Amino acid sequence: MSIPRPSSIRPSSIALLVLALMTAPAGAATITVLTPASAAPGVRALAAQFTQETGTLVTVGGGARDKIFQTLKEGGPADVVLLPTTDIVELPSVMGMTPLGRIAVGVGVKTGAAVPDISTPEKFREALLAARGVAYADPAAGTSAGKVIDRMLSAPEFARVRRVPVQGLAVTALAGGQASIALQMLPELAASKDVALAGPVPGTYGASVDFSAGIAAASTDSVRAQTFISFLTDAKAAAVWKANGVESINAR
C-alpha cells in the first residue's frame, strides 16, 4: 500500500514560502497559527499559498497539545488555533469553531522491521495480536488520539493485545524495544524516518480524530484570522490537505 509521506520540509512548500516572503510587501500583516504536529505539514503548505495570494504572512507554531494549551493560557501570540474538535469546544480562550477535517490513526513499525499487512480488519487484528507490544499515547494524558485508540483496543477482539501506553509519542516505544507496533496520528508516523508506515487503521474501527479551527481570544487581527480559516476550509484546499494526511471536510 503506497502512503504519501507528509513533511514540513516539502521542496514545493519551501519554494512557495520563499516566493511568498520575497513578494510580500515590507511591513506586511502577520498572523500566528498554533497547530499540533499532525496537521502542521498541511497548514504550512496552505500558509505559503495564502501568503502568495493575499500578502499576509503566516507564522506557524504550536507543537504538543500541552504546549498549545500553555501558550493560550499565558495569552501568548496566537490568531488561529487548530486542535482536535473535542479540545477546542472546551477552551474558553478560543472563539468559534470551524470543522476542518479528519486525521486517521496510522500503524507504524521500526524502520527495517517487517511491515505487517493491515489491509483488512482481520489482518489488522492479527497484526496487533502478534505484536510484542502495541504502543500508543497514554489516554490519561488527555490526548484525543490516545482516547480513540484506547477505546478501540478495549473491544473484546483486542483483549489479548499487549498494550503499551506511553507519555508523549508512541514511536518512542519502538526505539526502546517495548513495542513492535506504534499507533499514532498518520501524518506524524509518515514524517518520521525511523518508522516504516503500514497504513491507516481500517476504517471499520473509526480510529480517527476530527480537527477544527478557531480564533484565539488573544488575536490582534480576528478579521485576517477568519480569512485564513476560510482559506483552509475552501474546496481548493482539499487536495493539499489530502497530500499531507488530512481528509478535508470538503472531501467527504
Per-residue pLDDT band for 7 (boundaries 50, 70, 90) equals very low
Q: How far is CA 250 from CA 34, 224, 236, 241, in A?
A: 22, 22, 9, 10
Across 225-244, b (16+ Cβ under 10 Å) vs e yields bbebbebbbeeebbebbbeb
In this structure, are residues 244 and 104 in contact, taking their beta carbons and an 8 Å threshold? Answer: no
For the chain, first and last CA: distance in Å?
Answer: 21
- Stretch 38-67: mean pLDDT, rounded? 95
pLDDT at position 23 over 60: no
**Kind and range of the H or E element at 51?**
helix 40-54
Quote the percentage of the chain above a pLDDT of 70: 89
Please compute the mean of the pLDDT values over residues 68-96 and round it to a whole number.
95
pLDDT for the residue 198 = 98
Query: Could you give the CA distance from residue 135 to residue 127 in angstroms, rounded to a whole number?
Result: 13
Q: Quick one: pLDDT band at residue 25, thresholds 50, 70, 90?
A: low
**Average pLDDT of the segment spanning 203-210:** 96
Instruction: Give pLDDT, residue 252.
Output: 58
Complete domains list, the chain, with CATH: 11-101+211-251 (3.40.190.10), 103-205 (3.40.190.10)
pLDDT surpassing 50 at residue 34: yes
Region 165-179 average pLDDT = 95
pTM of the model: 0.84
Quote the pLDDT of residue 17. Answer: 47
Strand partners, 166: 137
Q: Is the pLDDT of residue 190 over 70?
A: yes
Rounded-to-integer distance, Cα 151 and Cα 205, Å: 10
Cell (9 digits) for 55: 500578502
Please tell me the predicted confidence (pLDDT) of residue 5.
52
- Per-residue confidence band for 28, with pLDDT thresholds at 50, 70 and 90: confident
- The half-sphere exposure of 74 on its side-chain side, counting CA atoms within 13 A, is 8
Q: Are 65 and 104 in contact (CB under 8 A)?
A: no
**Do 60 and 33 contact (CB within 8 A), yes or no?**
yes
Strands (E), 45-204: 57-62, 80-84, 94-110, 134-137, 163-166, 181-185, 195-200
89-119: per-residue pLDDT in tens? 999 999 999 999 999 999 999 999 999 999 9
> When comparing pLDDT for 197 and 250, which is higher?
197
The H or E element containing residue 65 is helix 65-73
C-alpha cell of residue 250: 470538503
Nearest-angstrom CA–CA distance, 181 and 173: 9
